[in-house]
Structure 1
Amino acid sequence: MEFDFNYLFGIGEDTLTWWQMSLRAIGVFMAALLIVRVGNPRVFGKNTAFDIILGIVFGSILSRAITGNSPFWPTLAAALVLVILHRGLATIAYHTSGRFGDFLKGRPVELIKNGKLLHDALQKYSVTENDLQEAVRIKGSTDISTIETAYLERNGNISIIYKK
């Protein structure tokens, strides 16, 4: 009996059986692991908008390969191209300073300066005093007046530097 890869994965068929879709899911999962390894380990770890967008689009593309809404191999190729594009743009941003990197990955925004709330920045980025209180509690304090500066970081976290 000859091994028929196309039959197992339902390639070229109009409808997929439950087991063909299951085999596709396993195949896409393994291919996704390999493709992400081509990228950068930080792709799904740091969670800047740049990385989150890749995650959403990557998942959307791969889901089409699983459900058979798009051809199997071209869909996997598109996912690989997307990850290579992400890595290339991240490399360019790393080696260049200024607006391109800031556009791609964002910039930190100062929320507290010299112990004073910067209300315009808080309002512009929808950060409430409760959000700041939470960040202060996570750092082990409860008093905003002890903060020298606080930043809304590119990944959405709030970093705090206390007064000396």
Structure 2
Amino acid sequence: MEFDFNYLFGISDETLTWWQMSARAIGVFFAALLIVRVGNQRVFGKHTAFDIILGIIFGSILSRAITGNSPFWPTLVSALVLVLLHRGLATLAYHTSGRLGNFVKGKPIELIKNGEMQHEALQRYSVTENDLQEAVRTQGGTTDISTIETAYLERNGNISIICKKK
């Protein structure tokens, strides 16, 4: 009995059986694991807009391989190309400073400067005083805004706080 890879994964079939979709799901899982490892650990470890977009598109592409809405191999290759694009842009952003890095990864936004809230930045990025106080409490500090030297809305959406020295 010869192993028929195309039959197992329903490569040439018009419709997929439940077990062919299951085999595809297992195959896509391991292919995705391999592809993410090719990308690097950063791909899904951080949550900048750059990384989130990859996650959404990556999942969408791979789901098409499982359900048979797209051809199996070209879909896996396109997922790999997407991860390699992410890695390439991240590498370019690392080696170049300025606009490309800021566009691809974003830049931190100063929300508090010398104990003063930067209301224009707060409004522009929809950060409330309660959001700032939550960030200070989370980092174990006081909720008194005047004791904060600076606060930044980081590229991944977190708020970092640097308190004034006593």
TM-score > 0.5, shorter chain as reference:
yes
CA-to-partner distance for each residue in 1:23-71, whole Å, 9 max, x for gaps? Answer: 1001000000100111021110111111111111000000000000000
Cross-structure match for 2:119: 119
- Point out the more displaced range, 137-146 or 94-103: 137-146
Q: What CA distance in whole angstroms lies between the structure 2 residues aligned with 1:46 and 1:2?
A: 45
Identity of aligned residues (%): 84
Cross-structure match for 1:23: 23
Cross-structure match for 2:145: 144
Please report the TM-score for the alignment, with normalisation by the length of structure 1. Answer: 0.98
Cross-structure match for 1:153: 154
- How far 1:143 sits from its partner (Å)? 2.3
Cross-structure match for 1:89: 89
* Residue type of the alignment partner of 2:65: A
- How far 1:145 sits from its partner (Å)? 2.2
Unaligned 5+ runs, structure 1: none
Please report the TM-score for the alignment, with normalisation by the length of structure 2. Answer: 0.97
Cross-structure match for 1:35: 35
RMSD: 0.7
Q: What CA distance in whole angstroms lies between the structure 2 residues aligned with 1:53 and 1:140?
A: 32
Residue 36 of structure 1 aligns to a residue whose secondary structure is helix
Unaligned 5+ runs, structure 2: none
Cross-structure match for 2:108: 108
4+ runs of 1 displaced by more than 3 Å?
none
